[in-house]
Structure 1
Amino acid sequence: MFSGRIALVTGGGGGIGRAVCRILARDGAQVIAADLDSRAAEDTVNSMINPNTHLALGMNVADKASVEAGIKSALEALRAPPSLVANAAGITRDNFLLQMDQAAFSDVLDVNLKGTFLVTQAAVMALVEHGGEHGAVVNVSSISGKIGNMGQVNYAASKAGVIALTKTAAAELAKVGVRVNCVVPGFTETPMVETVPDKVRNMLIKLTPLRRFAQPEEVAEVMAFLLSDKSSFMTGASVEVTGGLAM
């Protein structure tokens, strides 16, 4: 499905990002696994089919220079820019609004929202500059970005911003042949939710009609669909993968 395509996946060192890397590689893509933790990115590459054909990169998505250096390194190594981008890098710094400090608020927006902007901008610019014919971007939002979640004012705000960024980028980038969509996951079995107390976890499961959290692969399969030509007339869409969770 992705034979001959190069894919950049941020947050590729774990969670949904790692699952996306593995699925894209399984389906024929040459994958760049980018993560702030370069060793985790290398572990992802080593776990993928045909590991020697893929690339692990250290990248801080919140830093423009780091993003641009990563794109440049990928170009030098693979001789072509990525035409597929999965923005899966994300962090949480949970606290209630009245107890949250400015740094916790800013850090989450820097990674989750600004990082999505910086990577999309740099990757699409490289694709256009090197004559790429078409591309696709898929961003990771969250159901928290649509309905809010107590203790996550920063995270919810960042993920709401990802939805708005997706719709705007889709309108602007259609003229250069790039589609932009996003997934809106519910609670997913990733390291990010490991700190959720059992009492809260059980409550969230009860609120989810499918009565469980998602597996990363279940979100990643939808992301792969949005990157593929099977979704060729979709752009600006936000696809919920929540097990029916509406909170």
Structure 2
Amino acid sequence: MTRPLLTDRTAVITGAAQGIGYAIAELFVAEGARVVIGDLDAGLAAVAAEKLGGPGVAIGVGCDVSKSADVDGMLAAAVDTFGTLDVVVNNAGITRDATMRTMTEDQFDQVIAVHLKGTWNGVRKAAAIMREAKSGAIVNLSSISGKVGMAGQTNYSAAKAGIVGMTKAAAKEMAHHGVRVNAIQPGLIRTAMTEAMPQKVWEEKVAGIPMQRVGDPSEIASVALFLASDLSSYMTGTVLEVTGGRFM
């Protein structure tokens, strides 16, 4: 019998009380990890942690990733509770879609703060801890929107493209410290956020996917597991598209 891929490792996943983040946390626990569920809603984070096994397996921590002190507290909780910090998945995100003409400065700033600054906080804070251990894996969630740009998402596309550049720069800085930094660019994945879009828009997007179907959060989780585990031990600065072939 093969050993679970994340046995005795501690993983922090942001925005993990639901959706893609929760799917990642669920798979990581199944593969032997102890997890910290970081989420803006501390109550939802606690509920998610309890569903995953509770104390000894998972804890929930309230965290606004755009605030450096919150990220410090979340990572400290991981080390204090489980003893190590081995994996960080920067998944937290929001959307504030609007055309450039109608988008407010606040809508732009909110998305940049959560996605771009939030990921930067997660990467730099995790890297500072991991470099001491000379090992660790950081996985950043970008988006296909950061590759092609989406109408009505100048804020989101800019942030997600920025995450790609950040991932590559951080990977170069941290490689000799034994810390790997990689990214995932999901396409259309079935979550509460995507299912809220108008049916016509949904159908148009599905029509542009060669595999002719929407992805499931578990299909992002499996790629996150690959990047978090030793299966990808010789990969850093890599961006993996999980899109069903859309925009290849």
The TM-score by the shorter chain falls in which range?
Answer: over 0.9
Q: Distance in 2 between matches of 1:79 and 1:136?
A: 16
Q: After the TM superposition, which residues 34-49 of structure 1 pair with which residues of structure 2 at under 5 Å, given as runs?
A: 34-48=38-52
Question: Is the contact made by 2:10 and 2:78 (CA closer than 8 Å) also made in structure 1?
Answer: no
Find the counterpart in structure 1 of residue 128 from structure 2.
125
Q: Residue 110 of structure 2 aligns to which amino acid in structure 1?
A: D
Q: Distance in 2 between matches of 1:160 and 1:214?
A: 21
The one of 67, 78, 81 aligned to 2:82: 78
CA RMSD of aligned residues (A): 1.2
Instruction: Tell me whether 1:56 sits opposite 2:60 in the alignment.
Output: yes
Please, which runs of 5 or more residues in structure 2 have no aligned partner?
Answer: none
Q: Residue 149 of structure 1 aligns to which amino acid in structure 2?
A: M
Find the counterpart in structure 1 of residue 141 from structure 2.
140
Q: Distance in 2 between matches of 1:2 and 1:127?
A: 16
Q: Which secondary structure does the structure 2 equivalent of 1:34 belong to?
A: strand
Question: Is the contact made by 1:22 and 1:47 (CA closer than 8 Å) also made in structure 2?
Answer: no
Q: Which secondary structure does the structure 1 equivalent of 2:212 belong to?
A: coil
Please, which runs of 5 or more residues in structure 1 have no aligned partner?
Answer: none
Instruction: Tell me whether 1:220 sits opposite 2:221 in the alignment.
Output: yes
Per-residue deviation at 1:195?
A: 2.2
Per-residue deviation at 1:91?
A: 0.6
Aligned length: 243
Q: TM-score, normalised by structure 1?
A: 0.95
Question: Is the contact made by 1:21 and 1:44 (CA closer than 8 Å) also made in structure 2?
Answer: no
Q: Distance in 1 between matches of 2:193 and 2:140?
A: 17
Per-residue deviation at 1:194?
A: 2.7
Q: Distance in 1 between matches of 2:147 and 2:77?
A: 36
Question: Is the contact made by 1:108 and 1:154 (CA closer than 8 Å) also made in structure 2?
Answer: yes
Find the counterpart in structure 2 of residue 184 from structure 1.
185
Per-residue deviation at 1:219?
A: 0.7
Q: Residue 126 of structure 2 aligns to which amino acid in structure 1?
A: A
Q: Which secondary structure does the structure 2 equivalent of 1:89 belong to?
A: coil
Per-residue deviation at 1:109?
A: 0.7
Find the counterpart in structure 1 of residue 106 from structure 2.
103
Q: TM-score, normalised by structure 2?
A: 0.95
Q: Distance in 2 between matches of 1:65 and 1:52?
A: 24
Q: Distance in 2 between matches of 1:132 and 1:7?
A: 15
Per-residue deviation at 1:73?
A: 2.6
Q: Residue 12 of structure 1 aligns to which amino acid in structure 2?
A: A
Q: Which secondary structure does the structure 1 equivalent of 2:119 belong to?
A: helix
Q: Distance in 2 between matches of 1:216 and 1:39?
A: 22
